[in-house]
Structure 1
């Protein structure tokens, strides 16, 4: 089995303002560096990151860096690009994480990876819905290459059975979309 990790880090940060949110400081490091370090701690055969900004790419040492073209590419385009590359590497499992979720830890990523099968994806849950990190196996990786729109793999995760969901501790799945989100996270309220 070949296990591949993919961090999606090509968002426009439109709701964050003029600064790229992944370069904003969080706990003494750029926000995106947390996802890089966490994914690096998961036992994987390959690590990929999809970026649009070369400054973000620099945070992902020892990752295969894939660059998405165009500032308005939807999340599904980043996911499809990463999935195609993972298939070229012979991946049988693809663990997908978002770079703007700095509180996700390697234990949660590993549990999601281990819960995935060839027949069924797996994902983290906040108790109400399936969400990243998520893992896809077998032909489900190919399905990621055919997605469109800005919802990524949400439709593929919508009806996962409970045995494919890994409960995350409260607040761990918080993401940063705005400066206020980051301020709350810095203050420890998320």
Structure 2
């Protein structure tokens, strides 16, 4: 893996509170494999360096797929015994800080099993010319969202659940049009999971059963 290319930060630390099914959303099966496994397979196939940011509760699941060196387990408490910060912003900041020698970062939520490897590479290439690049399908912004190395300080200062949306408002961002509806699809609810199962290539269903999927929330 080329250390000079962007690193992929896979966000797998969320509690998944909107998912009302049994177990965590990342543990759910799609075509015989977990949601997390599908997302990680596409990430690994890109050949890009990657880091999975996860929680203590989800660390055993992540360890089934990646080496210890490729994961960052966020602490539950700080040095004073107080609850540690949580939220997408904190996860992004921690992942970027841990891969600070990378030439940029692609932010990928771990609950996007339909995302294609070609999309990751397309956004990575766009970062060679723009400070921010994001995948776009059918005119809608999706994931991954990529950030160049010059935004390291801004990314590592993120906090809470806001994620990196404010950076897209402050810096020029390049849309990368891709033929990949998976950039818009995450698994937040039981209904989302049912839709993903109905269209995933690993689950053969008639074309007539495939229907439009709910767009994911942006970073």
* Alpha-carbon separation, structure 1, partners of 2:167 and 2:25: 27
Find the residue that maps to 2:99 and give its secondary structure.
helix
1:171 aligned residue: 181
Q: Within 5 A, what are the aligned runs for 1:140-151? A: 140-151=151-162
Call closer, same or farther: CA 1:151–1:126 in 2, change over 3 Å.
farther
Please point out which of 3, 6, 27 is paired with 1:3: 6
Contact 1:118 1:139 in 2 (8 A): no
| TM-score of the two chains, using structure 2 as the length reference | 0.76
CA deviation after TM superposition for structure 1 residue 138, in Å: 2.0
Contact 1:131 1:154 in 2 (8 A): no
Please point out which of 22, 26, 29 is paired with 1:25: 29
Call closer, same or farther: CA 1:106–1:143 in 2, change over 3 Å.
same
Give the unaligned 5+ runs of structure 1: none
Call closer, same or farther: CA 1:86–1:4 in 2, change over 3 Å.
same
| TM-score of the two chains, using structure 1 as the length reference | 0.87
* Alpha-carbon separation, structure 2, partners of 1:138 and 1:112: 14
Contact 1:23 1:31 in 2 (8 A): yes
1:109 aligned residue: 120
Q: Which is higher, the Rg of structure 1 or of structure 2?
A: 2
Per-residue displacement from partner, 1:130-182 (whole Å, max 9, x unpaired)? 332011112213311001221211222247757x2112336312111001110
Aligned residues: 186
Q: Which moved more, 1:57-66 or 1:22-31?
A: 57-66
* Alpha-carbon separation, structure 1, partners of 2:122 and 2:180: 16
CA deviation after TM superposition for structure 1 residue 119, in Å: 5.1
CA deviation after TM superposition for structure 1 residue 117, in Å: 3.5
Q: Within 5 A, what are the aligned runs for 1:123-138? A: 123-138=134-149
Contact 1:76 1:149 in 2 (8 A): yes
Please point out which of 52, 59, 71 is paired with 1:65: 71
* Alpha-carbon separation, structure 2, partners of 1:24 and 1:158: 34
Give the unaligned 5+ runs of structure 2: 77-83, 200-210, 214-219
Call closer, same or farther: CA 1:131–1:170 in 2, change over 3 Å.
closer
* Alpha-carbon separation, structure 2, partners of 1:58 and 1:64: 9
